[in-house]
Amino acid sequence: MAIVEVTIVPLGTGSTSISSYVAKCHRLLKEEKVKYQLTPMGTVFEGDLDEILMVIRKIHEVPFNEGAMRVSTSIKIDDRRDKKGSIEEKIKSVEDKLE
């Protein structure tokens, strides 16, 4: 089970706003089966690593399809093989220790 955060940023578009690109990525994600969650600094996926990387590869193209000529994409993989884990469990395991 992998939990993966991705941030996709087009460079040189002439606008400081990137929400329209992120929204277009998320429209594409609605067609996909993988579990994901929007956060203030990226989109976090949970599931099979290869399925997630395939989806990320697709959304990496979105800014180019919208006319961008340079894209900076950062991917952070947290791949744990000693337990199944989930997005909710990662948060819960910290919050439980704060009670």
Residues that bind a copy of itself (CB under 8 A): 3, 5, 7, 9, 11-20, 22-23, 26-27, 37-42, 44, 46, 49-50, 53, 57, 60, 64, 69-82, 87, 90-91, 93-95, 97-98
Instruction: Read off the DSSP letter of residue 13.
Output: -
Distances (CA, A) of 34 to 5, 30, 51, 85: 13, 9, 7, 15
CB of 9 to a copy of itself, least distance (A): 6
**Nearest-approach distance from CB 66 to a copy of itself, in angstroms:** 12
Nearer to a copy of itself, 26 or 34 (CB): 26
State the Cα–Cα distance between residues 65 and 88, nearest whole angstrom.
33
H or E element, residue 10: strand 2-10
Contact, 5 vs 75, CB < 8 A?
Answer: yes
- The least distance separating a copy of itself from the CB of residue 65, rounded to whole angstroms, comes to 11
**CB-wise, 33 or 98, nearer to a copy of itself?**
98
